[in-house]
Amino acid sequence: MAQHFHRSMNTVAKVSIFGAVFIIGFGAWLLLEINRSSNVTNVGLALPQPVQFSHQHHVAGLGIECRYCHTSVENSAFANVPPISTCMNCHQQIWFGAPMLEPVRVSWKSGQALEWNRVHNLGDYVYFNHGIHVQKGIGCVSCHGRVDQMQLIYKDQPHTMEWCLNCHRNPAQYIRPRDQVFNMTWKPEDIGETQASLGARLVKEYNIESPRKLTSCSTCHH
Amino acid sequence: MTDHSARSSVSPMPTTPQPEPAHWRGIERLLADPEAQAALVEAFPRQASLLGDALDRRHFLKIMGASFGLAGLTACSAYPDDGKIVPYVKAPEEIVPGKPLFYASTFSMGEQVIGVLVESHMGRPTKIEGNPDHPASLGATDALTQAALLTLYDPDRSQTTRYYGDARPYEMFLRDLRKALDRHRADQGAGLRILTETVVSPALGFQLQRVLAAFPKAKWVQYEPCGRNLARAGAKLAFGRYVASQYRFEAADVVVALDADFLAAGPGHVRYAQDFSRRRRARFGQDATKQMSRLYMVECTLTSTGTVADHRIAVRPSELIEIANAIAVGLGIATGRPAQPPAAHAKFVETVVKDLQAHAGKSLFLVGDYQPAALHFLAHAINAKLGNVGQTLFYTDTPEVAPTDQEAEFRQLVAEMHAGAVETLIILGGNPAYTAPADVDFAGGLQKVKLAAHLSLYFDETSAHCHWHIPASHFLECWGDARAHDGTVSVQQPLIAPLYRETKSPLELLAAFLEEFNQSSEEIVRNFWQRNLAQLKSGKAFTPSVSGPVRIGRNAVGLQDEFEKQWRRTLHDGYLAGSAFTPVEVQLTGALAEAMATLPKPAPSGFEVVFRPDPMIYDGRFANNGWLQETPKPRSKLTWDNAVIVSPRTGAELGVVRKHDTEPYPVVEVEVGGRRVRGAALIVPGHPDNTLTMHLGYGRERAGSVGNGAGFNANLLRTAENLWMASGAKVSQTGETTRLACTQMHWEIEAAGAFRRRQLVREATLTEYLSDPQFARTEFDDPKARKLTLFEPPDDYTQGYAWGMVVDLNVCTGCQACVVACTAENNIPIVGKAEVLREREMHWIRIDQYYAGDPNDPNLALHLQPVMCQHCEMAPCELVCPVAATTHSPEGINEMTYNRCVGTKYCANNCPYKVRRFNFLHYSDYDTPVLKLGRNPDVTVRTRGVMEKCTYCIQRINAARIEAEKEDRRILDGEVITACQAVCPTQAIIFGDINDPNSQVAQLRKEPTNYGLLAELNVRPRTTYLAKVRNVHPDLVPARQAASSHSGHGGPSGDNHPDNSTPATTTGSHASGH
């Protein structure tokens, strides 16, 4: 009986079945790496905003502390974007009439809120609470990067679940004293310690939960 | 008295010859129709109904292909779009974004007033809780109050003023009104009528009095279709004046209720439920247990209170009258009627009389709000004779501003309308064109009115017949006040500015009559309170003087400050301290016999009919409320419909028995006094024989998209003589069938075998409990006897928090408040009737109802059991999830991660309690903008293909934990209250940390009656139950024992035989066990 398949197909079959494992593995790895890339996570992408508000100028230049504007960061789940009245606290007098601040003035007078483009966002099924992180000694810079050096805000960290778990599995790696949470330039060396020893100490002192509790699903998903 | 039970030659429902399980749910399952059983029992009978309307494969692929094609495109966009952040322009001072605020307000529905705390997220009310400080409710709410939130966000709500149905500006209505009022000024308002529902708001009452003072010949008529008119009339007959009764259930040892559903309906029922349940808890070693109260219930329809009663008999309305009379005669009251109780209940009557006499001064005799006025008179006489007045019952002024005979006044108004004597009719709320009885042609009368305007939430049946329709503000959008059943006055403050600019509150509308157009409802309420604060606190009802200016000048400084303090305190607390009524002295008039002579005599043949407001839809006002339509009604477990409810025996006589519980329901036609309606016949065990129950509120045509077309309109049968009861009804088969979404058989815990079935709800009598407190325990409930298992949980649950819950079966009344509260808290979608028919309703908590005894016995035992996710430590659902979407937290919560779930449904398959709910379709409404406002932002809104279930309100646990961690302390007991726990009027659900030895839940778990559901499966549920203890009277053997002729198993509560000295245990065969 004539063979349907040429003898070379035997080799092809063997090679492709053996190679399929590697091909599929490579494909999966590729997908995962793509998902981690800044193309998907938007790390480093500064979004245009209705007003070109510069954190670098206000924080590094003028020395305004984070909490002057982001008032609810210690108490609430959101670190709120400040109301226009906060901007006008200064800009009723400073840079009064500057064309760059026109949208702010228009918003203030008309009562129509300014719509900022959101840079940091988590899925609707994730319940992140700023307050507890700030109160337990996670610095702003750990998640948001050097905001005091950003002209326009961009994402400094991918904020993927993998990235969050990285800390939740080992909070000692990132924890810092409570009074240094808002300090962008702080290092453990500043107080003569290493992160390892400091971390271990602070985790106990601040009653940080065990990694098992921190990584249980209902901590963030409910 | 014709004995209907003897008349028919049709045999009652056949019972299976095998030993029946003690607790059963489905009457059709008990039928011995082996063919039906065999054919369908294996093949997922409920799914069999899908075969008829199957989607064929080609069509299915077409649909899927289309949605598949569109699915990928949303990810592509020029810029990453994470949305916008929109901050305030000027931030309100109190709001911290992300933290909810709670404001006190008041919910009034006719004569029922409940103080509430409303949770507000960023200015949007998202959940209604009870106000624990309000004396009239003490923190409880009921299903209707919980669901009232959804009405605020109902997209079908009326948004604009209408003239003959066309949108017009409100100013045009004002112009028309002004012209009419100018005419009326000339004749002092002779043709002006204002129709409202019962007014319990002092401020609104005052406004109305002012309007009447301006137009002396005008009339204000109140009509509350399902109000307490008969109770009021009874009080008037008894005492010559209108009084309200205030009950002290915690002081009553014996309560006898004749059709009085005091635990679930009527003003004050949430408070009464709490007070009553305080005497019903069986706690080991406490004297209170030995002094458990006893409840006798005589019902002529389905009530929630009946399920809690120690002794319940279900009788025809005419028999109820005789029983009431017999009890009164037995107590020595001259009623002018000879005592002729039905023979079957003579013993019951005798025992009741004996018990009441033994507890004179510590008892209560109640008559339901829809019983004839003469019976209310009788109840007053009985309570007076027993010396209950001043002990368990006292009389006060009525919370209604102007108590009257509403039925008579309403009829007179309609007569005047037909005679053309009414020129202007303003209707504030209500829906009289729909709710009026059939012999009152309100809609027809409207044709003769020159200017008819209706203020209401929806453009309903009445608005369609009026010239003008004005959209009403919801109670969460406007100011007002209310007087609760006990006299406590509280302010209703809005939580959100009106969603639709044009809506008006009744106060604002009435201000137009007085030419005070610029007064907001806040000003009106404030000014009224400022002038009358002292009298509001006087403990008496009062009629404020209408003369003099209403506005207090701003220069009256001292007065302002003091009042300001009081006002702010009242707004903060949610009620005015010290405003409850003080008791009044009343004297019984001697006219009892006269009144009793007016009681109707039943027709010699035919069925008796009972009309009642629907337990969920009430008089029809909630017909468009999806939460309430979908919540199973207590006792009948029906959703999305009303039915002609009959008992099993009557159902067999009528030939409406279905062979299997997946068959459609026969439609019958009921004829009363020449009027006919058609409805599906629903057989509910425990319903009285030869009686039909029909619930009002259905059959509406202008309810909105949710409520239109549901059920049939029972108002068409009601007339002045047949308002709440009728007799001589004829029922005939129509040959048609329809489907009813009844949830009685849904989510059945598969308990094959008599042994397992009896273990689900365990109960005993008080005597049995006292002699053997461990009656509910089996070897599986002993924690030390835990079986060996291959896989121990990885966590050490003895450290940290361990969340657990206890449900006290002794006090659950089946009111379904927990079901609605859970729906509101957790963004649970409604699925509609078609999906409920497929057992796909999404309620995370359900109340299972079991019967015990002979189905033909109307007095059979009823058992309720709320079931939600048991959070098993060895959860069968967690093992089988292929993607680990359901895991176990180290604190014992069985977690559900919606974004991970792929919809295998294996977990639901494996759950022995059947508590998991799957989103088969995209039930959540993602599109309608106004519905998004009311969602709880702390809970994910699930899409199709995702499994969900009770989470022990993990969002509340997390919020409490975060607060506690910030303050470096432990979560205190009582800091986390689940939604179901918060709402339950009888506090049947207790949640907390079982590792905290002082927590309530840990104490309750130590009770000997504490047991786990299906504990023998070794799943180690964290939710446990406290077995039921019934305080039966030794003289009364439960009727099921006397009536049933077959072998023994009256069920575990067996007062098996009066001379049985061995205490009954849960399983007859295990009597020697432990």
What tens digit of pLDDT does each residue of B894-943 get? 999 999 999 999 999 999 999 999 999 999 999 999 999 999 999 999 99
Q: Is the pLDDT of residue B666 over 70?
A: yes
The reported pTM is 0.91
Our CA-based measurement puts residue A115 at a distance from the nearest CA of chain B, in whole angstroms, of 5
Q: Is the pLDDT of residue B12 over 80?
A: no
Q: Tell me which residue in A81, A118, A131 faces B82 most closely, judged by beta carbons.
A: A118
**Residue A20 burial by Cβ neighbours in a 10 Å radius (0-12, 13-18, 19+):** exposed
Please write the tens of the pLDDT for every residue from A82-99. Answer: 999 999 999 999 998 899
Please write the tens of the pLDDT for every residue from B805-823. Answer: 999 999 999 999 999 999 9
Looking at residues B1020-1025, what average pLDDT do you find? 94
CA B311 to chain centre: 22
Q: Do A221 and B97 touch (CB under 8 A)?
A: no
**Which range is least confidently modeled, B76-80, B501-505, B812-816?**
B76-80
Sequential DSSP letters for A82-120: PPHHHHHHHHTTTTTT-GGGHHHHHHHHH-PPP-EEP-S
pLDDT band at B55 (very low <50, low <70, confident <90, very high): low
Ramachandran bin of B975, using left for φ above 0, alpha for ψ from -120 to 50, beta for the remaining angles: alpha
Q: Do B83 and A121 touch (CB under 8 A)?
A: yes
pLDDT band at B120 (very low <50, low <70, confident <90, very high): very high
* C-alpha–C-alpha distance, residues B573 and B117, integer Å: 10
Reading the block at residue A96, the tokens are: 């009064």
Q: What is the pLDDT of residue B83?
A: 86
Classify B730 as helix, strand or coil.
strand
pLDDT band at B654 (very low <50, low <70, confident <90, very high): very high
Q: Do B87 and A121 touch (CB under 8 A)?
A: no
- Cβ–Cβ contacts within 10 Å for residue B242, how many? 18
Q: Is the pLDDT of residue B74 over 50?
A: no
**Which residues are CB-neighbours of B708 under 8 A, at least 6 positions away?**
B700, B701, B702
pLDDT band at B93 (very low <50, low <70, confident <90, very high): confident
Q: Tell me which residue in B88, B897, B966 faces A113 most closely, judged by beta carbons.
A: B88
Looking at residues B189-202, what average pLDDT do you find? 95
Looking at residues B698-706, what average pLDDT do you find? 95
Q: Do A85 and B88 touch (CB under 8 A)?
A: yes
**First-last CA distance in chain B:** 51
Number of CB pairs, chain A paired with chain B, less than 8 A apart: 126
Our CA-based measurement puts residue B443 at a distance from the nearest CA of chain A, in whole angstroms, of 47
Please write the tens of the pLDDT for every residue from A146-191. Answer: 999 999 999 999 999 999 999 999 999 999 999 999 999 999 999 9
pLDDT band at B287 (very low <50, low <70, confident <90, very high): confident
| Chain B neighbors of A131, CB-CB under 8 A | 962, 966
**Which residues are CB-neighbours of A92 under 8 A, at least 6 positions away?**
none
Q: For residue B426, what are the β-bridge partners?
A: B194, B453
Q: Tell me which residue in B83, B938, B962 faces A131 most closely, judged by beta carbons.
A: B962
* C-alpha–C-alpha distance, residues B52 and A219, integer Å: 45
Q: Do B965 and A85 touch (CB under 8 A)?
A: no
Question: Which of 36-55 (A) contact B at CB < 8 A?
Answer: 42, 45, 47
Looking at residues B41-61, what average pLDDT do you find? 51
Please write the tens of the pLDDT for every residue from B714-756. Answer: 999 999 988 999 999 999 999 999 999 999 999 988 765 555 5
Nearest to B202 by CA among B303, B88, B113: B113
| Chain B neighbors of A77, CB-CB under 8 A | 98-99
Q: Is the pLDDT of residue B530 over 70?
A: yes
What interface predicted TM-score (ipTM) does this complex get? 0.93
Question: Which of 70-89 (A) contact B at CB < 8 A?
Answer: 72, 75-78, 80-85
* Phi, psi at B760, each rounded to 5°: -70, -55
Closest-CA residue of B relative to A50 is: B84
| Chain A neighbors of B795, CB-CB under 8 A | 212
Closest-CA residue of B relative to A119 is: B82
Q: Tell me which residue in A72, A108, A121 faces B96 most closely, judged by beta carbons.
A: A72
CA A142 to chain centre: 8
* C-alpha–C-alpha distance, residues B607 and B646, integer Å: 10
pLDDT band at B332 (very low <50, low <70, confident <90, very high): very high
Q: Is the pLDDT of residue B81 over 90?
A: no
Q: Is the pLDDT of residue B384 over 90?
A: yes
Q: What is the pLDDT of residue B912?
A: 92
- Burial code (b: 16+ CB inside 10 Å, e: under 16) for A42-52 equals bbeeebebeee
**Which range is least confidently modeled, B224-238, B451-465, B776-790, B842-856?**
B776-790
Q: Tell me which residue in A45, A117, A125 faces B898 most closely, judged by beta carbons.
A: A125
pLDDT band at B1049 (very low <50, low <70, confident <90, very high): very low
Q: What is the pLDDT of residue B27?
A: 74
Q: What is the pLDDT of residue B278?
A: 94
Our CA-based measurement puts residue A192 at a distance from the nearest CA of chain B, in whole angstroms, of 27
Reading the block at residue B265, the tokens are: 């309906």
* C-alpha–C-alpha distance, residues B428 and B205, integer Å: 12
Asked if residues B305 and B257 have their Cβ atoms less than 8 Å apart, the reply is yes
